[in-house]
Structure 1
Amino acid sequence: MFKKILIANRGEIACRVIKTARAMGIKTVAIYSEADRNALHVRMADEAVHIGPAPASESYIVIDKVMDAIRRTGAEAVHPGYGFLSENPKFAEALEAEGVAFIGPPVNAIKAMGDKITSKKIAQEASVSTVPGYMGLIEDAEDAVKISNEVGYPVMIKASAGGGGKGMRIAWNDDEAREGFQSSKNEAASSFGDDRIFIEKFITQPRHIEIQVLCDSHGNGIYLGERECSIQRRQQKVIEEAPSPFLDEATRKAMGDQSVALAQAVGYASAGTVEFIVDGARNFYFLEMNTRLQVEHPVTELITGVDLVEQMIRVAYGEKLAMAQSDVKLTGWAMESRLYAEDPYRGFLPSIGRLTRYRPPQELAIEGAVVRNDTGVFEGGEISMYYDPMIAKLCTWGHTRSEAIEGMRNALDAFEMEGVGHNLPFLSAVMDHPKFVAGEMTTAFIEEEYPDGFEGVTLGVDALRAIAASCAAMHRVAEIRRTRVSGRMDNHERHVGDDWVVSLQGDSFAVTIDADKSGANVKFEDGDSLRVTSDWTPGDQLATLIVDDKPLVLKVGKISGGFRIRSRGADLKVHVRTPRQAELAALMPEKLPPDTSKLLLCPMPGLIVKVNVAVGDEVQEGQALCTVEAMKMENILRAEKKVTVTKLNATPGDSLAVDDVIMEFE
């Protein structure tokens, strides 16, 4: 077996590979840019080599720098992770020339599957079901219209070398086909240096389901079930699960057999993923093959018990697969939530900064439940603007899908993260969404269910009552602590009343608390009573409670007269008052938010790269005002109405925080 491998990646996937290598007794080498000098993967590896400045284009994806690190450390093999150089045939060729093993597929397989047109032709020759379409050269926009009519609208216009949603358009008629062809061609040329375009049928009610394959260099190949990846935003996966709630055994076998056939048609050896689009009638069509480890691989590991990284290393060393298809058993259900540094309340714009608090839920593996968190960050670390905003992949497993979902709900509630914007509330909202719970989702789920963006969660009355009862009990504990500290009376409990009014989410609940040594009975005006028990103490930022025999996890912050509570995607201000205080509070005028209609505020931390207007300019609705760059993504800010610019507060090159004023209007 290899004695030392280099991981040509960073973040959570580098940490993930290091864990398996360590378990196999293999030493590891990390590479790092200037921005990652103190990163977790650098701390975990046995050795680490600095390879350049922060931008990936000057460090992680510079083949010569990675090769130099390999030579300096004597690494015998390289695991590329995903992204960066993982599907770059030139990198694989450079390793081969150096006599270093590539922990991935052969170069020819990378090349064949890396081009969408070539891969689709190979798939057709291997009798893999493919989407009807035209894979030849498309001359111009009029040719695109002609082909679209032959295929039948709606059609998908896609860049051959595309990925991540770039160079992709949907056309429902001739005009949209004409316009979409030119836009896709231009975008493909600028993004990939390859303007080749193909057209295929656009599948309605689509689900994105992928098959995990594993092949060795001795002609053996198996599939390890499927993953449902339909919860996507802008073609980027957000939540994945295994198996799919939609497939039956016959469809699973057909998809698996075709995936292995495709892999063997290109001489594949390693872990790989064949992606399919599946319509409402379970017809499936080949999309592409990813010749690398997928981000969402943990859910497959959880239902099969197979360590995919270990298998990749063993295959790269030349070993035969130690299992056959008949040995693969799918057990239970697994969920994965991708935690991103992005603000869901601001259109999921990226967020950067220091993680002032980062406390993932406790990882566990017991009978009936697993919680796993693949991460590459730590409390006090920086979320950089230079790389992907993914912070962690939180995974849960249970005997059934409902158990896996409930496990994920509780794990998300227990995940403490402060300092940057994050999508934890949105992930929690999806876990409670009726369509998701029923397994009735398509790739349009987020677009259809959140058409105006994410605006938080409105909790039902039962959830509100549980939180109200919990906060009343917690407030009582805090008041007892306060009177003890003040030392005003020996019998401190005489200072703490039993009657309280709890206000949250626009509702108020009058409650009476009957406390004992093990907990409290919280009685509502209608006679209903909830039993609350917890070991929470004032100052704890996480409260784990039992409310009428049901677990409840609350993130707790202190505000004047109550708590800031976050649970199940909701962010609540909870006030706990005496009846008299509640009467007076009802008479207080409502504080209105400041008027920002004449200001352009920066929606995210970022760099001003361009200002399109000057003082005195009259701008129209939709006109570009400026461009802000964050995490290497350019965001154009546009006028919401017709206004005149009166003042510019920022110029190109300025670094701004959230809500900094960029310009003012009249």
Structure 2
Amino acid sequence: MFDKILIANRGEIACRVIKTAKKMGIRTVAVHSEADKHALHVEMADEAVHIGPPPANQSYIVIDKIMQAIKDSGAQAVHPGYGFLSENPKFADALEAAGVAFIGPPKGAIEAMGDKITSKKLAKEAGVNTVPGYMGLIEDAEEAVKISQEIGYPVMLKASAGGGGKGMRIAWNDEEAREGFQSSKNEAANSFGDDRIFIEKFVTQPRHIEIQVLCDAHGNGIYLNERECSIQRRNQKVVEEAPSPFLDPETRKAMGEQAVALAKAVDYTSAGTVEFIVDGDKNFYFLEMNTRLQVEHPVTELITGIDLVEQMIRVANGEALTITQDDVGINGWAIENRLYAEDPYRNFLPSIGRLTRYRPPEEGKLGDGIVRNDTGVYEGGEISMYYDPMIAKLCTWGHTRGEALETMRNALDSFEVEGIGHNLPFLAAVMDHPRFISGEITTAFIAEEYPEGFSGVELGEDTLRDIAAACAAMNRVAEIRRARISGTLDNHERKVGEAWNVYLQDQSFDVSIDADREGSTVTFADGDTVRVNGSWTPGDTLARMEVNGRPLVLKVGKISGGFRIRSRGADLKVHVRSPRHAELALHMPEKMPPDTSKMLLCPMPGLVVKINVAEGDEVQEGQALCTVEAMKMENILRAERQGTVKKLNAGPGDSLAVDDVIMEFE
């Protein structure tokens, strides 16, 4: 077995590989850019090597720098993680020439299946159903438009060497095909050093289901069931689960056997994933093969009990698989939510900054389920603009899908993140969405259910009453604290009243509280009575309460006259007032936000790539105004209405913060 492994990656996947290596007694070497010198994966590894400036194309994807780090550290093998150099045949070639083991497939398999154009041709030759498209190289935007017209809109423009949603665009017309081609080409060049683009028919209402395969160099190959990855936005997965709520055993077996046959056809070794598009009749079509470890591999590990990273290391060491297809079962259900540094209230645009608070739920058992959190950050760490915005993968397991889902809800409510925009509220909303609960999902779920973007969660009456009762009980605890303090200072004791008004989400509840040593009984004006228990004390940022025996987890912040409460995806201002104060509050004027209707504001921290207009230009609704790049993604900002450009406040090359004014209109 290897004595030392270098991880040619960063973030949570580097940390994930280090954990398994430590379990196996193998020393680890981390590589890091200047931006990552204090990163968690650097702290966890036994050794660390600095490899260059923050941009990935000057550090993490520079083969010569990684090879020098291998030489300097004496590592015998390299795990590439995902992204970066994980599917680069030149990197595998360089490792082979240096006599260093690659913890991944052979170069030939990477070339055959890692390149999406080549893989589709091979799949078609092997008799595998593939999505209609044009697999040749496309020279320019006009050719892209012509091909798109021939295939028929909508089409998907994809980077041949792409992955993780980078270099992908959906086009519904000629203009979008023209713009999408250039943006996809630019993103592909920046992310993968390969700007080749291909086009295929975009299948509407599909499900995205993938098969995990594992092969060794002794002719053995197995599949480890499937993962449902249909909850996506911008072609990037957000929620995954295993198994799929859609597949039956016959379809699972057919997909699994086809995936293994495809892997064996290219002499594949190591872990890999064959992705399929599946329609409503369970017809499945080969999409691509990822010749690496997938981001969502933890859900497969949770339902099979197989450590995929350990298997990859053992296969790279020349060992034969000790697991047969008959050994692979499905134990329970697992769900993964990807925590992104993105602001869901701003159309999921990237957010950067310092994590002033980062407290994931405790890993291990939670009720009848299990919680796992794969992460690469820590409290006080910096979220950089240079890399992918994913900062953690929260996974839960349960005996059934319902149990895994309820464990996930409680885990999301317990996850504390402050200092940056993040998608925790959105994830909580998805977990409570009737369509997701039923399993009736497609890759169009987010577009269909949130067509105007995510604007928060409106909680139902029953949940609001539970939160109102809990906040009334918490307020009583805070009032007792304040009364004792005032009694100490003023030498008298202030009596805490029983009658209160709780105002939240535009609803008002009059309640009375009868407290004892065990908790509080809260009675509403309509006579409904609930029992509230919990150990919250003033200053706690997390309240684990029970309302009539039902668990209720609240993230708690202080505001004037009450609490900021976040639960189940909702962000609430909860005012708890005496009856007289509640009456007076009705007469308080509401503060109006400033008028920014004649400004184009930067929606995310990023770099201005292009300005499409000049001062004095007339613009039409929907016209492209500028392009801003953030976290390896290009974002085209468009005019919301007709107008005339009055002033440009930024130009190409400028770095902007959120809400910086890019241009003003008359």
Show CA shifts across 1:40-73 (max 9, x none). Answer: 0000000000000110000000000000000011
8 Å Cα contact 2:385/2:605 also seen in 1: no
* 1-structure distance, mates of 2:602, 2:79: 39
**Cα distance in structure 2, aligned partners of 1:133 and 1:651:** 38
- The secondary structure found in structure 2 opposite 1:91 is helix
Give the alignment's Cα RMSD to 1 decimal. 2.4
CA distance in 1, matches of 2:25, 2:516: 54
Match of 2:167 in 1: 166
Is 1:529 paired with 2:529? yes
Q: How does 1:352-371 map to 2 (within 5 A)?
A: 352-365=352-365, 368-371=368-371
Q: 1:35: which partner in 2?
A: 35
Other-structure match for 2:441? 441
Confirm or deny that 1:471 pairs with 2:471. yes
Deviations 1:547-592 (A, max 9, x none): 1100000010000000000001100000000001111111222222
State the match for 1:350 in structure 2.
350
CA distance in 2, matches of 1:601, 1:144: 36
Give the drift of 1:188: 5.8
Pairing 1:243–2:243 present: yes
- Tell me the secondary structure at the aligned position of residue 453 of structure 1: coil
Partner of 1:119: 119
Quote the residue 2:420 is aligned against.
420
Q: How does 1:157-236 map to 2 (within 5 A)?
A: 160-163=160-163, 164=165, 166=167, 168-169=169-170, 176=173, 190=186, 191=188, 193=194, 195=196, 197-200=198-201, 202-236=202-236
Q: How far is 1:644 from its partner?
A: 4.0
Relative to the length of structure 1, the TM-score reads 0.93
Q: CA deviation at 1:453?
A: 0.3
Going from structure 1 to structure 2, the CA distance change for 1:242 and 1:579 (only over 3 Å counts) comes to same
SS of equivalent to 1:209: strand
Code of the aligned partner of 2:52? G
2:75 alignment counterpart: 75
Work out the CA distance in 1 between the residues paired with 2:331 and 2:342: 33
Are the equivalent residues in 1 in contact too, given 2:366–2:407 (CA < 8 A)?
A: no
Change (3 A) 1:482 1:159: closer
Q: C-alpha offsets along residues 196-224 of structure 1, whole Å, 9 cap, x if unaligned?
A: 64545x43431000000000000000000
Partner Cα separation in structure 2 for residue 540 and residue 209 of structure 1: 41
Sort the Cα spacing of 1:461 and 1:196 in 2 relative to 1 into closer, same or farther, 3 A: closer
2:151 corresponds to: 148
**2:393 equivalent to 1:393:** yes
Deviation of 1:194 after TM superposition, in Å, equals 5.4
The whole-number CA distance in structure 2 between the counterparts of 1:199 and 1:596 is 40
Q: 1:358 offset after TM fit, Å?
A: 0.3
Seen in structure 2, the aligned counterparts of structure 1 residues 656 and 437 have a Cα distance that, compared at 3 Å, is: same
For residues 453 and 11 of structure 2, the distance between their equivalents in structure 1, rounded to whole angstroms, comes to: 28
Shift of 1:442: 0.3
Q: In the alignment, which residue of structure 2 is the partner of 1:310?
A: 310
| Alignment CA distance shift 1:431-1:349 (3 Å) | same
**Residue in 2 that maps onto 1:109:** 109
Aligned-partner Cα distance in 2 for 1:366–1:644: 57
Distance 1:65 1:402, change over 3 A: same
Q: Structure 2: how far apart are the matches of 1:141 and 1:515?
A: 70
CA change 1:402–1:485 in 2 (3 A) is same
Work out the CA distance in 2 between the residues paired with 1:33 and 1:431: 36
Query: Which residue matches 1:572?
Result: 572
Could you tell me how far 1:661 is from its partner in structure 2?
3.5
Moved more, 578-587 or 189-198: 189-198
Query: Residue type of the partner of 1:486?
Result: S
Cα distance in 1 for partners of 2:652, 2:227 equals: 44
CA distance in 1, matches of 2:581, 2:461: 23
**Distance change >3 Å, CA 535–CA 116, structure 1 → 2:** same
Partners of 1:534 and 1:543 within 8 A in 2? yes
Which ranges of structure 2 fall in alignment gaps of 5 or more residues? Answer: none
Question: Which AA in structure 2 matches 1:481?
Answer: R
Instruction: Report the alpha carbon displacement of residue 372 of structure 1 after superposing the two structures with TM.
Output: 0.4
8 Å contact 2:168–2:235 — kept in the other structure? no
Q: Distance in 2 between matches of 1:141 and 1:15?
A: 40
Of the structure 1 ranges 504-513 and 635-644, higher mean CA displacement relative to structure 2 is found in 635-644
Cα distance, 1:166–1:637 mapped onto 2, change above 3 Å: same
**Offset of 1:603 from its aligned partner?**
1.8
Residue in 1 aligned with 2:10? Answer: 10
Checking the alignment, whether the CA contact within 8 Å between 1:210 and 1:226 is kept in structure 2 is yes
Deviates more, 1:523-532 or 1:637-646: 637-646
Deviations 1:108-133 (A, max 9, x none): 00000022232123224444343355
- Match of 1:111, SS? helix
Matched AA of 1:335:
I
Tell me, yes or no, if structure 1 residue 372 matches structure 2 residue 372: yes
Measure the CA separation in 1 of the matches of 2:533 and 2:196: 63
Change in Cα spacing, 1:479 to 1:635, as seen in structure 2 (3 Å) is: same
Say if 2:145 and 2:177, in contact at 8 Å, map to a contact too. Answer: no
Cα pair distance change 1:498/1:186, threshold 3 Å: closer
CA–CA separation in structure 1 for the residues paired with 2:278 and 2:297: 20
Report if the CA contact (8 A) 2:513-2:522 is conserved: yes
Which residue is 1:277 aligned to? 277
> Could you list the per-position Cα deviations for residues 619-652 of structure 1 after superposition, in whole angstroms to 9, with x for gaps in the alignment?
4433444443322333333332233444555555
Cα offsets for 1:506-552 (capped at 9, x unmatched): 00000000000110000001110111111000011110000110000
Residue pair 2:486, 2:492 contacting (<8 A) in 1 also: no
Taking a change above 3 Å as real, the CA distance of residues 365 and 480 of structure 1, as seen in their structure-2 partners, is closer
1:167–1:183 Cα contact (<8 Å) kept: no
The answer as to whether partners of 1:117 and 1:198 remain within 8 angstroms in 2 is: no
State the Cα deviation string for residues 158-213 of structure 1 (Å, max 9, x = none): 56445426355456xxxx4x77776666556553555564545x434310000000
Over 3 Å counting, the alpha-carbon distance change for 1:184 and 1:617 in structure 2 is: closer
Cα distance in 2 for partners of 1:138, 1:605 equals 32
CA distance change for structure 1 residues 606 and 57 in 2, over 3 Å: closer, same or farther? same
The residue type paired with residue 148 of structure 1 is: I
| Distance in 2, Cα, partners of 1:43 & 1:137 | 43
Q: Is the 8 A contact 1:600 1:662 kept in 2?
A: yes
- Relative to structure 1, the CA distance from residue 141 to residue 239 in structure 2 (aligned partners, 3 Å threshold; closer, same or farther) is closer
Q: For 1:143 and 1:581, how far apart are their aligned partners in 2?
A: 67
Distance in 2, matches of 1:91 and 1:347, equals 36
Counterpart code for 2:237: K
Distance 1:128 1:647, change over 3 A: closer
Question: Structure 1 residue 64 and structure 2 residue 64: aligned?
Answer: yes
Structure 1 residue 141: Cα displacement: 6.9
CA distance in 2, matches of 1:443, 1:381: 33
Aligned partners of 1:48, 1:141: CA distance in 2, in Å? 44
TM-superposed CA distance for 1:365, in Å, is 3.9
Please give the residue correspondences for 1:122-137 in structure 2 after superposition, counting only pairs within 5 Å. Answer: 122-132=122-132, 135=135
**Farther off after superposition, 182-191 or 268-277:** 182-191
CA distance in 2 between counterparts of 1:234 and 1:168 reads: 8
Amino acid at match of 1:166: G
